[in-house]
Amino acid sequence: MVKKLMTGAALILPGIALAGTAFAQGIVLTNPLGGNCNDLNCVAQKVIGFLWLIAIPIASIMVLVGGFQMMTSAGDPEKFSSGKKTLTYAAIGLVVILLAGGFASFIKSLFGA
C-alpha cells in the first residue's frame, strides 16, 4: 500500500511542479514593503517605522490602564502594585523601542552604510 502511494506520488509530483512553473510565468510579484526596498537598511527602517507606529499608541493606552488600576485600587496594595507594574512595563517597552531605532542607526554607521 505504501509502495503504491510512493510510486503514485513520484509520478504526480513532477507533473505538478512543471504545471506550477508554467502558471507562474504569468504571475508578477510585487514587493510587500513597497518601492525599491532591496537592502537590509531599507528593511530595518521599515520594521522600525512599523514598530513606532504600533508602540506609541499601545504604550499610551497602557499608561492609561496602569493609572486607572492605581486610581481604582481603593487602598488595596495588590491592585495598586499591579497598576504600578503596568506603568513600569509600558515605560520599559517604550524605551526598548527607542533603543531599537538608535541601535539600528548605530549599526548602520558602524558598517558605513
For cell 509502495, what's the residue?
A: 3
Quick check: 83 and 73 in contact, CB under 8 A? yes
pTM over 0.75: no
Mean pLDDT, rounded, for 1-15: 54
Tell me what pLDDT residue 88 has. Answer: 95
pLDDT at 61: 95
Q: How far apart are the C-alpha atoms of 101 and 47, rounded to whole Å?
A: 10
User: What percentage of the chain carries pLDDT values higher than 70?
Assistant: 70
pLDDT digits (tens, 9 = 90+) for 64-105: 999 999 999 998 999 999 999 999 999 998 898 888 878 877
Where is mean pLDDT largest: 12-16, 63-67, 103-107? 63-67
pLDDT at residue 5, as a whole number? 47
CB 90 within 8 A of CB 59: yes
Who has greater pLDDT, 33 or 44?
Answer: 44
Domain range list for the chain: 31-110
DSSP 28-83: -PPPTT-SS--SHHHHHHHHHHHHHHHHHHHHHHHHHHHHHHHHTTTT-HHHHHHH
Whole-angstrom distance, CA of residue 9 vs CA of residue 7? 5
Mean pLDDT, the chain, rounded, equals: 78
Average of pLDDT values for 21-41? 67
Do 87 and 63 form a contact (C-beta atoms < 8 A)?
Answer: yes
